[in-house]
Amino acid sequence: MNKVVSGAEEAIRDIADGNTLMLGGFGLCGIPENCIDALVKKGVSGLTCISNNAGVDDFGIGLMLQQKQVKKMIASYVGENAEFERQLLSGELEVELIPQGTLATRCLAAGYGMPAVFTPAGVGTEVADGKESRVFNDKEYLMEMAFDADFAIVKAWKGDTQGNLVYKETARNFNPLMAMAGRVTIAEVEELVPAGELDPDHIHTPGIYVHRIFQGRAYEKRIEQRTVRTRE
């Protein structure tokens, strides 16, 4: 059951042009930066990326956008990335913006093996265009399909050789949902320990969902928007 690989390059070895990827994180918090760097170096293209956001110009998914590796972006927020904006407005990038809760629920549905879910979010807006709706108890709901991703790439604080994962505070964000949802789940961790060292009560993602794991290196842990109080 040892799922350890040597590093990011080996972990993403079979990601190919045209694949659909889920990438964990929220803003710049809890993003799989080692795997993103490896994807940039590998040069795969035509990717569909499912993520809460598109990183910033020079970090996270923004690095993949700079190299024109992303064909379609499915996200709930993209406001910090000027290159994303440029590609969207020029027609170079296909974009599907969806409500954040719907993004999370579509990940969850994929992990649970449900083909679709019904949600009131987006009813009566452009989000509803082309989607089936149904009425339950006099209220209209949209049918949203579960995501179908070739790979889920997530970042955790600690993990063990069997793939059990522990996230730290807000870096948990979308990572547990996406870890459940990919056909192949790749986890990079700050600290990799032998099986049995993690407290079972503290494990957020059971190893049954994880196919490959490695200890990452040189995490930058940037702050996306720094706000400080002036000294009085």
Q: Is residue 43, in this structure, part of any structural domain at all?
A: yes
Please give the pLDDT value at position 224. Answer: 72
47: CATH: 3.40.1080.10
Both tokens of residue 72? 């379609």
Mean pLDDT of the chain: 94
The tally of CA atoms less than 13 A away on the side-chain side of residue 201 is 0
Question: Is residue 96 a part of any domain in this protein?
Answer: yes
Q: What is the token pair recorded at 6?
A: 């040597």
In a domain, 154, yes or no: yes
Residue ranges making up the domain that contains 187: 8-113+148-215
Total number of domains constituting the chain? 1
State the Cα–Cα distance between residues 230 and 88, nearest whole angstrom: 37
State pLDDT tens for residues 187-196: 999 999 999 9
Closest residue by Cα to residue 156 from 181, 175, 178? 175
Alpha-carbon dihedral sign for residues 97, 100, 105, 111: positive
Tokens (6 digits) for 188: 């990079």
Q: Give domain status of residue 139, yes or no.
A: no
* 135 falls within a domain: no
Whether residue 51 lies inside any domain: the answer is yes
Could you tell me if residue 189 is inside a domain? Answer: yes
Residue 130 belongs to some domain of the structure: no
What is residue 35's DSSP assignment? Answer: H
Give, for all 232 residues of the chain, the pLDDT tens digit: 779 999 999 999 999 999 999 999 998 899 999 999 999 999 999 999 999 998 888 899 999 999 999 999 999 988 778 899 899 999 999 999 999 999 999 999 999 999 999 999 999 999 999 999 999 999 999 999 999 999 999 999 999 999 999 999 999 999 999 999 999 999 999 999 999 999 999 999 999 999 999 999 888 777 777 788 887 6
What does the pLDDT read at residue 204?
97
Q: What is the pTM of this model?
A: 0.91
